[in-house]
Structure 1
Amino acid sequence: MKWVTWLSWAVLILVVTVVGYTQLYGVIQTLLKPPPPSITNFDGVSRTAQKFELPVETITIGMAGDVLLHDTLNNYTDYRPSFEGVREMTNELDFLIVNLESLAAGEEFGLSGYPNFNSTETIIDGIKDLGSDLVMVSNNHTLDKRPAGLQASLANLKERNLPYVGAYTSQQDADQPRIFSLGSVTIGVVSYTYGLNGHRVPNDQPYLVNLIDVTKIQKDIRDLEEQVDITIALMHWGTEYELDANEEQRYVARIAHQAGADILFGGHPHVLQPYELLETGEQQTHVFYSLGNFFSGQTIENTNYGGIAVMTLTSDGKQVLSATPSFYPTEVTFTPGRVVVNPMTETDASRWTSHVGVPKYE
C-alpha cells in the first residue's frame, strides 16, 4: 500500500538523520575538546648551589729550645725575670712545649751543672709563667740524679700542674697518652732521647725514660695517630754544636714520617739546625732538627742563639686544613747578676731565620 511506502521512507530518513547527527556531534566534540597535556621528563628545579662555609679556626703550637741550667744559673730563686723579654710572645701561643733538659729535683739532690744537671724547682715556675703547656723531660740528662732525682723532678712538675712527656713515674703513667684539645683540634705528643750519658734504666723500671727505638717510635705514633688530628714527636738527638742534621737524625725523622708523625721538634745540639719538610703522597712531616738553646749558661760559639719553632694550623672544625711553619729567634744574654732571654737583634734574626729556612714568626 502507498502509505506503507511513505512510512518506510520516513523511517529511513529519521535513521539517517539520527546517525548523521550523532557522527557530526562526535566530530564537533572532538574538535572542541582541549588536547591532553604533553608528558615531559621531570628534572627538578634548577637552582644555584648554596655554599655554607664553616668558620676557620687558627691554632698556634710552639716548641722552645733547650733549657740547660749550668752552675751560673741553677740556683735562681725566681726565673721569671729571665724570661721577661719573650713572655708576651710565648703567652700568645695556644700551646707551648719547653725542653727542660736539667732536672728540677731541688736542693735535696744537690744543685749542680755539667755534667750532672740539677736545679731548684723554681725553674718550673719560670717556664710555667711563660705559658708552657707541656714539658719535654726525655734527654741525656734525665737520670743525672738517678731514678730518685727524676722522680723528685717529676713530682715538682705534678705539684705545679705542668704536664710532662718522655719520662714517667710508673708504667701506668707511661701508658697514659699525652693528648690535648686545642679548640676543635686534638694533638698527641710522644718524646724520646738518643741516650742517657752512660746512665742505665733499671731493669725493673723500664718506663722511666723513652729511648729512641725505631720499633717503639713506629708503634707509639701509629697508636696515637688513630686518636688525634695532629701527632707531634719530640726528639733529643744529633751531634752537639753541628749546624746541620746528621744522617741518624734524618733516618729517625723518616721513620717517624712513615709512621704518620705530622711535626717533629728536635733538641740537643745546642745550636740551630735547618727545618725540612718530608713528603710522601699526602703525608707531610714538618721537621725542626734542632732549636738551639733557649736558656743556658753555655758560651761556646753559636750556643747563645736559639728560638721557638711555631706551627700555625687552620681548621674548619672538622679537619686540619693547613699547617704553616715559622720561627721566632731568641738570644741568651749575660747581664750582671742574671742570664736573660730576649728576641734576637734584627741582623742576627735575619741570619738565623734564613739558616733555619722558614719565615720569621710575626
Structure 2
Amino acid sequence: MNSRRKYIIPSIIAAALFLTGCATEQTSVADENHELVFEGRKLPIATSPSEVGLTASATLSAVGDILIHERVYKDALTEEGYDFNPMLETVKPFMEQADITVANSESIIGGSEIGLSTYPAFNSPYEVGDALKQAGVDVVTLANNHTLDRGVPAIENAVRYWDQIGMVHAGSYLSADDRSAIALMTRNDITFSFLSYTYGTNGIETPAGRDYLVNRIDPAIIQQDLKRAREKSDVVVLNLHFGVEYQKMPNAEQIELAQFAAENGADIILGHHPHVLQPPEWIDTADGRKVFVVYSLGNFLSGQDEPDRQIGAILHLDIEKKVTADSTAITIQNPAFTPTFVRSSNEKGYHVDLLKNVDPALNTVTKNHLSTWISDLQFIE
C-alpha cells in the first residue's frame, strides 16, 4: 500500500476476479570451477545464465487534453486547409526527444467532411492528427466523454485516419476484434502496452451491440484487460478519463481506482478530464512494485481561457528493464515535468508555450502544486 495513506477499495472493485499467473522455473547445470584459458589469460565462464544481467532503458512522455474549440481551429485555418503545427512549435523539442510520447485526443478528429463543431459536441480537423504526429506524438488515447459526440461516422473517420498516419491508438475501436487486440509499441527492447477508459460519454449511449466504440471504466473489465496486457508487454500504460472538472486534487474515486489498477498490473497511470493539473504520486503495490500515477495532466491545447485551464504539463519518465534468467524487473524512475501554457495573441494566435515564459511566479506555484506528494520531483524547462 502507498505509504502516504491506506485505501479502502469499493465493494465493486473488491468483488472483481483475482488475477492468477503461472511461473516457469528455469534451471541450469554448470561446472562452477570450469575455466577457459585463452592467450595466457584465464577467463571464468558464468556458472549460470542468471549471473549475466541484461539492462535496457527507454523514455516516455505524455501530455494532457487536446480539445479543439472553434476559436482554435479557426485560428489554424489557411488557404490550403488547417495547420496546427505552429501551435506546437515551442514545445515540440520537449515532446519529440522521448522514445514514446502519449497524448489524449479528446475532441475526435472526424474531419471537415462531416462538418467541424465545437462545445458541447466536438469534431475536429484531420490536421490535428498531422500536427501531433509532426510534434513527436506516437500514441493517442481516444476514450473520453466526447468520444460519441458526433456518432459513429466521426469515430470511423478518426480511427481510419490515425491508422493512415501510423499513430498507435487505444480506447475506441471499429470492431470487437480490434478492441481485443492490445495496442503495443516496442522501443529499445522494451514493449509497452496502452489501455484507455472513460467514466462516461456525456449521457450519450453507445449504439446497441457496439460497446467496442468506446471503453468505459468497469473495474472487472479493466482487471481482465490489465492481465492480457501484462502477458503481452513489459510496461502497461493505463489512461483513465476520470475525476471532477476543474478540481485541483483527485477525489476518492480516482485514488481508489488508481490503487486498484496498480495492484492489478498497471505500471504507469495517466489521468485526464479535470482540465487542470492534479499532482502525481507513487503507489506501492503488494507485490513490491512502485507504480507512477498522475491524476490529471490538464489541458495541453484547448480554447479554454481560465488561467488554470490554460496550464498543462509534459510528463517525462525513464523506464529501465533488467532481465536475468530468473526474472524481468521493470523500474519506473526520474519523473519530471515541463509546465506549459496555452497562449493566444494577435501576433501568433493560439500556441503552447512554456509556462516559465508566460508567468514565472505562476510557474513556481504550479511546480509546488505538482510536487505535493513527490518532494524530489524534477522539472525540465
Q: TM-score, normalised by structure 1?
A: 0.83
Q: CA deviation at 1:322?
A: 2.7
Partner of 1:322: 331
Sequence identity of aligned pairs in percent?
Answer: 32
CA distance in 1, matches of 2:183, 2:172: 12
Partner of 1:20: none
Matches within 5 A, 1:1-362: 56-75=55-74, 76=76, 77-281=82-286, 282-316=288-322, 319-320=328-329, 322-324=331-333, 325-336=335-346, 338-345=349-356, 346-357=360-371, 358-361=377-380
The answer on whether the counterparts of 1:109 and 1:145 sit within 8 Å (CA) in structure 2 is: no
Q: CA deviation at 1:74?
A: 2.4
Unaligned ranges ≥5, structure 1? 1-42
Deviations 1:22-80 (A, max 9, x none): xxxxxxxxxxxxxxxxxxxxx96999989987675431111101000111012421000
Residues 1:350 and 1:148: Cα distance change in structure 2 (over 3 Å): same
Q: CA deviation at 1:283?
A: 2.3
Mean alpha-carbon deviation: is it higher for 267-276 or for 46-55?
A: 46-55
The answer on whether the counterparts of 2:142 and 2:172 sit within 8 Å (CA) in structure 1 is: yes
The answer on whether the counterparts of 1:74 and 1:112 sit within 8 Å (CA) in structure 2 is: no
CA distance in 2, matches of 1:226, 1:124: 30
CA distance in 2, matches of 1:221, 1:314: 20
Q: CA deviation at 1:334?
A: 0.6
The answer on whether the counterparts of 1:185 and 1:317 sit within 8 Å (CA) in structure 2 is: no
CA distance in 1, matches of 2:315, 2:119: 26
Deviations 1:271-318 (A, max 9, x none): 000111111241222110000010011012400110111211123466
Q: CA deviation at 1:320?
A: 4.5
The answer on whether the counterparts of 2:184 and 2:193 sit within 8 Å (CA) in structure 1 is: yes
CA distance in 1, matches of 2:99, 2:184: 14
CA distance in 2, matches of 1:45, 1:311: 43
CA distance in 1, matches of 2:330, 2:265: 17
The answer on whether the counterparts of 2:57 and 2:188 sit within 8 Å (CA) in structure 1 is: no
Unaligned ranges ≥5, structure 2? 1-31, 36-41, 77-81, 372-376
CA distance in 1, matches of 2:142, 2:362: 29
Q: CA deviation at 1:156?
A: 1.7
Once superposed, what is the RMSD of the aligned Cα atoms? 2.2
The answer on whether the counterparts of 2:336 and 2:380 sit within 8 Å (CA) in structure 1 is: yes
Residues 1:316 and 1:300: Cα distance change in structure 2 (over 3 Å): same
For these two proteins, the number of residue pairs brought into alignment is 320
Bigger radius of gyration among the two = 1
CA distance in 2, matches of 1:203, 1:227: 30
The answer on whether the counterparts of 1:261 and 1:285 sit within 8 Å (CA) in structure 2 is: yes
CA distance in 1, matches of 2:54, 2:355: 35
CA distance in 1, matches of 2:318, 2:367: 17
The answer on whether the counterparts of 1:184 and 1:317 sit within 8 Å (CA) in structure 2 is: no
Secondary structure of 1:224's match? helix
CA distance in 1, matches of 2:86, 2:108: 20
The answer on whether the counterparts of 1:102 and 1:142 sit within 8 Å (CA) in structure 2 is: yes
CA distance in 1, matches of 2:195, 2:281: 19
The answer on whether the counterparts of 1:245 and 1:289 sit within 8 Å (CA) in structure 2 is: yes
Q: CA deviation at 1:171?
A: 1.1
Secondary structure of 1:254's match? helix
Secondary structure of 1:303's match? helix
